[in-house]
């Protein structure tokens, strides 16, 4: 995976949101966004989609494992 200015910016915003108590209003200001909606739609929303995808993949893995263990 290439490290780009965009990926660093994305990582920073997500880390601020998920690993600190910094309010989204402050994160939006740090990122230079005009509204918190821009921050949410750009960073937080994307993470939520990725978490949902991961959750679905783990569910499938669990079901496959469970089915293989049954006689």
pLDDT at 27: 93
The pLDDT score that the predictor gives to residue 3 is: 87
For the stretch 45-59, pLDDT in tens is: 666 666 777 777 777
Residue-wise pLDDT for 11-63, tens only, equals 888 888 888 899 999 999 999 999 999 988 887 766 666 677 777 777 787 77
DSSP per-residue string spanning the chain? ----HHHHHHHHHHHHHHHS---HHHHHHHHT-SSHHHHIIIIIHHHHHHHHHHHHHHHHHHHHHHHHH--
pLDDT at 11: 84
Mean pLDDT of 5-10: 87
């Amino acid at each position: 995976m290439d490290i780009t200015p965009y990926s660093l910016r994305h990582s920073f915003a997500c880390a601020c949101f998920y690993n600190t108590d910094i309010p989204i209003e402050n994160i939006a200001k740090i990122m230079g966004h005009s509204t918190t909606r821009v921050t949410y739609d750009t960073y937080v929303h994307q993470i939520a989609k990725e978490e949902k995808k991961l959750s679905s993949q783990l569910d499938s893995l669990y079901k496959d494992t469970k089915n293989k263990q049954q006689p």
